[in-house]
Structure 1
Amino acid sequence: MPQPDQVSAPQPRLEIRDIRRSFGGRDVVDGVSLRVMPGQVTCLLGPSGCGKSTTLRIIAGVDMQDAGEIYVDGQLVCDTIHRVPPEGRSIGLMFQDFALFPHLSVLQNVAFGLTGRKGEKRGKVLELLKKVDLARAIDSFPHELSGGEQQRVALARALAPKPSIMLMDEPFSGLDERLKDEIRDTTLDVLKAEGTAVLLVTHEPDEAMRMADEIALMRDGRIVQQGAPYNIYNAPVDKRAAMFFSDINVIKGTVQGALVSTPFGEFLAPGYGDGTPVDIVVRPQHLRIDFDRAGRGPNPTAQDGVPARGIVERARFMGRESLVEFRMDYDGSILTATVPSVFLPKVGTPLWLMLRRERCFVFASEPL
């Protein structure tokens, strides 16, 4: 029996190493590396133009990298010399426009990449359509289906050749909001049941958080942070990463003796030298209105921090929560808090605010 240190690590279904691609002298993909295991969903998340779709096209084989290597199940499929053609990579593709053939039936669309006799193909297609709850539409045409149904046909077609890897480029962006959750869940269930490694490109943080086992956050052609959704959200690498997932409030300060003095009290800033300008970042849901102390003034000795006063500038009910903006007494800046349910104080109302200190981040100040 092999010793623990002799047991080899699980082999990734997809691995890319130091992929680079330039256009017109600009680095569009700049040293991207990642691994996707069987049955794992990894999201390449980032704003438009960050290089995520180019990375996907390189993996699919429809574009060629300038440097780097791509492996499928441990086998090299592409470097700058050796290149397996797209059809030989066992990779399925799904795009936002579905790309169904309008003149072909659902049966013919799904069977397009299959080999074998006509009867065998129909049986395979019917099995796939049952997985996406569309067996009834096997003889229909795309124009007879809803957007969500067309998306499920595209999924069945992509799964028909039994790819070991599925690449998905903004596949749900063309759907109505009410359909997205249902179709995403169906897609995820089918792909995981097949043990397919999934690399999903999206610019929507909510979609990445809902679907991904791991998120790779891209910016300017690079992966700036990678990890489980919980870790990415709760331990952002910098202010821009925090902003990508939600609105933020920023309180500025300067480090002295590893501490930052603010109107909300002192914050630890280990690793920053004296005189370093920093931003204290807190999300609106972690800015607390101190109702117990409202109108009675601050209590600097309170163990839970120092309150600071703000004047209500605007209050709006957003459905599940209320959004309240305050102009702060200490410097006139605007801070935003979210409050569960309905809370609509009048404009001009003074209230005391406190921070959930354990949910604050300290970053060196940088322009956005």
Structure 2
Amino acid sequence: MSEQIDREKSAVAAPAPRLEVRHLTRRFGGRVVVDDVSLAIRPGQVTCLLGPSGCGKSTTLRMIAGVEMQDEGEIRVDGELICDTVYRVPPERRSIGLMFQDFALFPHLSVADNVAFGLRAPREARRARVEELLARVGLSHYVDAYPHSLSGGEQQRVALARALAPRPSIMLMDEPFSGLDNRLRDGIRDETLSILKEEDTAVLLVTHEPQEAMRMADEIALMRDGRIVQMGAPYNIYNAPLDKAAVAFFSDVNVIRGTVRGALTDTPFGQFLAPGVPDGAEVDIVFRPQHVGIDFDRGGHGPQPTARDGVAARGVVERARFLGNESLVEFRMDHDGSVLKATVPNVFLPRPGRALWLTVRRDRCFVFPARD
């Protein structure tokens, strides 16, 4: 009885999806561009479609918006079918807002008229909505200005106000911040996200920048070759990646290849577990530069195992660069001549040719079957 009550409470607490995409597929000239994509977004949730250019992200967005027709699958808003391969609600009736990299403001219209463009309401109501939104994005004093007189960040905020004016239940965003310089980008992103969450809008954001997805998303859908290969919260995607390519998409990586013997792989940094991998098979041990330690206490003495970091291996500094918050040091490893990267907080610029002992955070390593 208590389990049934808990399930009922959970069902009440979790809102139904605002946007639901089921098995969406699109082909161009016999080539599958979007392959069986499914996802669901709740009110107030931000989901990022993250992946390299050409993986099908923007095509997925266009199908949801209604400007591109799918070959298979269906799209639902608040549980109601809006599009399948037979039935199709026109784009203007889908209650979906759009924001793109190109702000697409009308140069001959004032800021107020740009924001009011998509509104279908009496004049007084339109004016009130425009004034409300311009106040929220901090542009009330630009109500009669024209787009050419605004900065890029200000134009982006006008585009946001225009997209929000009709009160869409869903917002689709196709790399809308990529045209802004780094100084403005973080502030505009945070401001946009705050407004969208206040409006309880379901957001689907397309980006190829992992940092943007990590900063904005409640959930990341990692796309590759038209498919969603992994989906989850940013923390889980980053710390429990599906494969080597998923690790490498978020950061630089180091890779050591080894052969499995008795579910163990020998490396210069000690043995690593490879459960379920048959003897004789090769695996890639993948780890990020920030998880490489430099052991100054070891001096020139031989490797000594530690509980967390295993065995130390010696490398010779090839070059070191200061990157602002950290330093990147590249080592030529003694054991096979490969290059290993390490990042160190603050300033650390050892001279080329200096030999140092390195360790690897074993709890931050990923072991995957070798694919190439």
Q: Normalising TM by the smaller chain, what interval? A: over 0.9
> Structure 1 residues 204 and 304, CA, compared in 2 at 3 Å: closer, same or farther?
closer
Matches within 5 A, 1:183-332: 183-300=188-305, 304-332=309-337
User: Is contact 2:244-2:368 (8 Å) kept?
Assistant: yes
Counterpart of 1:92 (choices 94, 97, 102) is: 97
Give the alignment of 1:83-232 within 5 angstroms: 83-232=88-237
Distance in 2, matches of 1:208 and 1:196, equals: 17
Distance in 2 (alpha carbons) for counterparts of 1:10 and 1:115: 29
Count of residues paired in the alignment: 367
Paired AA for residue 112 in structure 1:
F
Cα separation, 2, equivalents of 1:5 and 1:242 = 35
Letter in 2 for 1:22: R
Normalising to structure 1: TM-score of the pair? 0.97
Cα deviation digits, residues 208-235 of structure 1 (max 9, x gap): 0000000000000000000000000011
- The code of the aligned residue for 1:45 comes to L
Quote the Cα distance in structure 2 between the aligned partners of 1:117 and 1:168.
28
- Superposed CA offset, 1:41-99 (max 9, x none): 00000000000000000000000000001000000000001110101111000000011
Query: Structure 1: which 5+ runs fail to align?
Result: none
CA distance in 1, matches of 2:346, 2:226: 40
Which string of whole-angstrom CA distances, capped at 9 and with x for unpartnered residues, describes residues 132-177 of structure 1? 1111111100001000000000000000000000000000000011
Aligned counterparts of 1:113 and 1:136: Cα–Cα separation in 2: 21
Normalised TM-score (structure 2): 0.96
Percent of aligned positions with the same letter in both sequences? 73
- The yes-or-no answer on 1:37 pairing with 2:39 is no
Pick which of 107-116 and 294-303 moved more.
294-303
1:303/1:91 CA distance change after superposition, 3 Å = closer
Higher mean alpha-carbon deviation, 273-282 vs 116-125, is at 116-125
CA distance in structure 1 between the partners assigned to 2:77 and 2:305 by the alignment? 59
Q: Which is further off, 145-154 or 115-124?
A: 115-124
Specify the code of the residue in structure 1 equivalent to 2:209.
E
Q: 1:74 aligns with which of 65, 69, 79?
A: 79
Q: CA shift at 1:276, angstroms?
A: 1.2
Q: Deviations over 1:180-209 (max 9, x none)?
A: 001000100000000000000000000000
Cα deviation for residue 273 of structure 1 reads: 1.0
